Structure formats: structure tokens, C-alpha cells
């Protein structure tokens, strides 16, 4: 039987690892400047952590969770996103009592049983932040600012930041009354899923990707028209702050995002260059009820997550280079025969202790073949060790590019080695 990786998963290696590290390092630098601290939570949680926060009526909980029973019959789920886990961890560890607001970031793999397609995986990677304990428009601004800085630093120019407010519970209740009135006469034209959503959780109709449902939504009333004065003022303040920071945005009054935990201002960053339906590179928003729902105090929060796999895909498509640091010089040691083994091991240790990147030949090939192999594999120098070198306590260093060769007493001429290889 041929064993492939499971559908919707992928191995990450080679160039993609460079992109991935570049994205992660860029994010880490920004998080440091904004004073966010890392949190690592388990890859699986009790199912209730997700079903209670993301919402029973959402696509994720209804169709996309990898849920299984452990040997004691407990229901566990591979995390489909990071927010619920972080909130569970904060509530459990009571760290919210100290030093609010808590500003946390995470980097992790997430799992959703979706139909795989370009940019949509069953296992994918997110980088996210959660900012807990500040019900301030400045905090919404900061979170969006970080998202924007991240994409700017990665070199993106043409992304669109969509923003909307779905208001507080009171405004949403008023809106839903009107929305249901609008939908009711059109109910038979909606897909089966949306007919169910109409009964259980009408806001989720906005998440439907089917054209027939999307057309009906297009003409529907918007939640933004039903915001109470406080929510309206709050949203306008955030927009003002974004203007002050020269962060461009586009109000999208149909944006609701597919999680029940959201309240107030939500946002998404999309790219028209991603031709697939999966054009969201990141998204987030405020979730002021979730901490209480998961057993914590009544505490406000907001955050976002970005999809690392989609960003890599788009960076490659747009030829956005990763800024390569000047690579360190690399040495390949060629021991000519078994008799040179111990001498070569000592040289290898000596050079590695000096912080020089080096390898030794594990296979036996002719000297000519070894030198060619080293050149083809991005080594800058070879160090040749044969009988003569062992006898005289020396090494022969060959500069592959310059065709220059040096014979050196390695114990006495440490400085010279450094000079030659430019370390
Ligand atoms: P989300 O919009 O579901 O939000 O996911 C954030 C990003 O993860 C998406 O914009 C996308 O780039 C990436 N993503 C999602 N699903 C997939 C997939 N199947 N394959 C590849 N990439 C994917 C959240 O997860 C919220 N927890 C964000 C948040 C944090 N809200 C508040 N705090």
C-alpha cells in the first residue's frame, strides 16, 4: 500500500521553510515592538472549548472539526483556531488578574475538515494575537495596526483591509429582527443549510458561499445600520485612529466572519491577487463575551490570526522576495581515507567550536567528485585532509570560487583560518 500524507495536509520543506521562517521572524519582531508575549497551547482541547466559543451553528463546529474520543471516552478536538484555546488557557491559569491588558501571540497548526483546494488546507498554520482586558478603541486600533504592519513589512502593496461592526448584543438583536423579516419571504430560495441557519442562527447566513444565497444577502439590510449610538461612536473612533495612522480600509457592511464569539468591530485582510475564493489572508475582531462564556470574568478582548500557508503562496506568486541575510561561509571537510578519521573529527570540532558552518564527507568519492559536489551544494571552501596533513599537523583549505589553496597549521594559525574564510 502506498502511503501518502492525508488529504489536505502538506510537507513543508526547502524554499517554503525559508518563506515560513521569514514570515514568523517578521511577525516576532513586530510583536516584540508592540510588547506581545508568546503563548503555546495544546493542539487538542476538550470539544466544548470550541463548540461553546465558536458556536454550535457555525460551519466549523457543524462540519469541520476533527473530533475524536480518547481511550476514556472523552471528546477531544484538534484545534480549528487559536482564540478559544488562548481564552481557555487564560481563564484556567487566572493570569488575567495580573497586568491587564494581557497581550499574547501564538504560532501554531490548525485543523479544519474542509474541502481542500488552492489555499484551503485541512492542516494549516496560523500566527495570531489575542489582546485581553481592554475595552478601548485604541486596542482595536493597535490590533489592526499590527496586522497592517505585518503585511507592509512582508512587502505587500495591494491588499485590502475590510472592516465592519456587528455591534453589541442589543444592536444585533434589533438587526436580526429586521433581517429575519427580510429573509422570511425569500426562505425557499436559500440553500438547505441556510434554511437551517435561519431557524438556529440567522447571522450565519452571511457566511454562505453559494451564489444564490449571496445574491439574497446582497440586498439584505446591514447590521451597521442598526448600531446603537455607543457602538456607532466606537466604530467611528476606530476609523478615525486608523486614518491618523494612515492605514487604509474599506468598510464592508456585509462582513460578519464565521464565528459566534464576535462582537463590535471585525476586520479581514484580503488580496485580489489570490484568484481563488480563499482570498482572506487574515482576519479578526472583538469578542467581548467569550471570556465570560468560558467561565472567566466579564472581560473585553480582541485579536486576529493570519494564514501562513496562504501568505507563502501569495508571496511566491507576486515574487515578493524574502530578504536574505548575508549567508555565512560554509566549509566541507574531505577526509581522504579511514586513517584520517580521528584527525578530521578534531578539525570538525575545532571549526564548529569557532562557529563555522561545516560538514564532513560521509560518503567515499574521489577527491574530484567531492570538490564538485561541495561546489554544487553551496559550500565556499573545502578542507582536504590526507596522510600528509595528518603527518604535518596541517589542513589544506581550498577556496572553491577563487581556485586558491592554502596550507595551514590549524592549531597555531587560528587567526589565519578566520581571515581566509572571512568568519
Ligand atoms: P479565520 O478567519 O478563521 O480566523 O482564520 C484566519 C486566517 O487563517 C484566514 O484568513 C486564512 O488566511 C487562514 N485559514 C483559515 N482557514 C484556512 C484553511 N483551511 N487553509 C489555509 N488557511 C486557512 C480565526 O481563526 C480567528 N481565530 C481569528 C481571531 C483571532 N479572531 C480574534 N482573534
Homologous superfamily of domain range 15-168+228-317? Bira Bifunctional Protein; Domain 2 (3.30.930.10)
Q: How confident is the model at residue 405 (pLDDT cuts 50, 70, 90)?
A: very high
Residue 126, ligand 1, Cβ within 6 A: yes
Start-end of H helices in 121-168: 137-153
In the predicted model, is pLDDT for residue 276 greater than 80? Answer: no
- Ligand 1 midpoint to CA 306 (Å): 6
Distance CA 177, CA 340 (A): 84
The predicted structure's pLDDT at residue 326 = 63
- CB-ligand 1 contact for 128 (6 Å cutoff): yes
pLDDT tens, residue by residue, 90-100: 999 987 767 78
What are residue 271's phi and psi, to 5 degrees? -125, 125
* Ligand 1 binding pocket includes 140 (Cβ within 6 Å): no
* Pocket lining: 127 vs ligand 1, CB cutoff 6 Å: no
- Pairwise CA distance, residues 237 & 137, whole Å: 7
133 lines ligand 1 (CB under 6 A): no
pLDDT at position 253 is 93
Question: Which pLDDT score is estimated for 174?
Answer: 94
Atom of ligand 1 nearest to the CA of 257: 2
Q: Do domains 15-168+228-317 and 330-421 have the same CATH topology?
A: no
Give the pLDDT confidence of 104-128 residue by residue, as tens digits. 999 999 999 999 999 999 999 999 9
* Mean pLDDT across 214-225: 93
Q: What is the position in ligand 1's atom list of the atom closest to the CA of 121? A: 20
Average pLDDT, the chain: 93
How is the chain split into domains, by residue range?
15-168+228-317, 170-223, 330-421
What superfamily would CATH give domain 330-421? Anticodon-binding domain (3.40.50.800)
pLDDT tens, 326-347? 678 899 999 998 889 999 999 9
Per residue in 25-82, pLDDT (tens digit) is 999 999 999 999 999 999 999 999 999 999 988 999 999 999 999 999 999 999 999 9
Residue position matching grid coordinates 571537510: 333
- Measured between alpha carbons, how far is 87 from 295 in angstroms, rounded to an integer? 10
Amino acid at each position: 500500500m502506498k502511503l501518502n500524507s492525508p488529504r489536505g495536509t502538506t510537507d513543508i520543506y526547502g524554499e517554503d521553510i525559508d518563506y515560513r521562517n521569514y514570515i514568523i521572524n517578521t511577525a516576532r519582531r513586530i510583536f516584540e515592538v508592540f510588547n506581545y508575549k508568546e503563548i503555546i497551547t495544546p493542539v487538542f482541547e476538550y470539544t466544548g472549548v470550541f463548540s461553546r466559543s465558536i458556536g454550535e451553528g457555525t460551519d466549523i463546529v457543524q462540519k469541520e472539526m476533527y473530533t475524536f474520543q480518547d481511550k476514556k471516552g472523552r471528546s477531544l478536538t484538534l484545534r480549528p483556531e487559536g482564540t478559544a484555546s488562548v481564552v481557555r488557557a487564560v481563564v484556567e491559569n487566572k493570569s488575567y488578574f495580573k497586568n491587564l491588558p494581557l497581550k499574547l501571540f501564538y504560532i501554531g497548526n490548525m485543523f479544519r475538515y474542509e474541502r481542500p483546494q488552492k489555499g484551503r488546507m485541512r492542516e494549516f498554520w496560523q500566527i495570531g494575537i489575542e489582546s485581553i482586558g481592554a475595552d478601548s478603541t485604541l486596542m482595536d486600533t493597535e490590533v489592526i495596526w499590527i496586522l497592517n504592519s505585518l503585511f507592509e513589512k512582508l512587502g505587500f502593496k495591494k491588499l485590502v483591509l475590510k472592516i465592519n461592526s456587528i455591534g453589541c448584543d442589543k444592536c444585533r438583536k434589533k438587526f436580526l429582527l429586521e433581517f429575519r423579516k427580510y429573509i422570511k419571504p425569500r426562505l425557499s430560495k436559500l440553500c438547505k443549510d441556510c434554511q437551517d441557519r435561519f431557524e438556529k442562527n440567522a447571522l450565519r447566513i452571511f457566511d454562505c458561499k453559494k451564489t444564490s444565497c449571496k445574491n439574497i444577502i446582497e440586498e439584505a439590510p446591514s447590521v451597521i445600520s442598526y448600531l446603537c449610538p455607543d457602538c456607532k461612536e466606537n466604530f467611528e473612533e476606530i476609523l478615525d485612529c486608523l486614518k491618523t495612522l494612515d492605514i487604509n480600509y474599506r468598510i464592508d457592511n456585509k462582513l460578519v466572519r464565521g464565528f459566534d464569539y464576535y462582537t463590535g468591530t471585525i476586520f479581514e485582510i484580503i488580496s485580489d491577487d489570490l484568484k481563488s475564493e480563499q482570498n482572506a489572508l487574515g482576519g479578526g475582531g472583538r469578542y467581548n463575551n467569550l471570556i465570560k462564556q468560558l467561565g472567566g470574568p466579564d472581560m473585553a478582548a480582541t485579536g486576529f490570526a493570519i494564514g501562513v500557508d496562504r501568505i507563502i503562496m501569495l508571496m511566491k506568486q507576486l515574487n515578493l522576495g524574502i530578504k536574505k541575510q548575508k549567508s555565512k561561509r560554509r566549509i566541507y571537510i574531505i577526509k581522504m581515507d579511514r586513517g584520517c578519521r580521528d584527525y578530521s573529527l578534531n578539525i570538525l570540532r575545532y571549526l564548529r567550536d569557532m562557529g563555522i558552518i561545516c560538514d564532513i564527507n560521509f560518503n567515499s568519492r574521489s577527491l574530484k567528485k567531492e570538490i564538485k559536489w561541495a561546489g554544487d551544494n553551496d559550500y565556499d571552501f573545502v578542507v582536504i585532509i590526507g596522510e600528509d596533513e595528518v603527518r604535518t599537523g596541517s589542513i589544506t583549505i581550498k577556496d572553491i570560487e577563487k581556485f586558491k589553496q592554502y596550507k595551514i597549521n590549524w592549531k597555531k594559525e587560528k587567526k589565519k583560518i578566520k581571515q581566509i574564510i572571512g568568519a
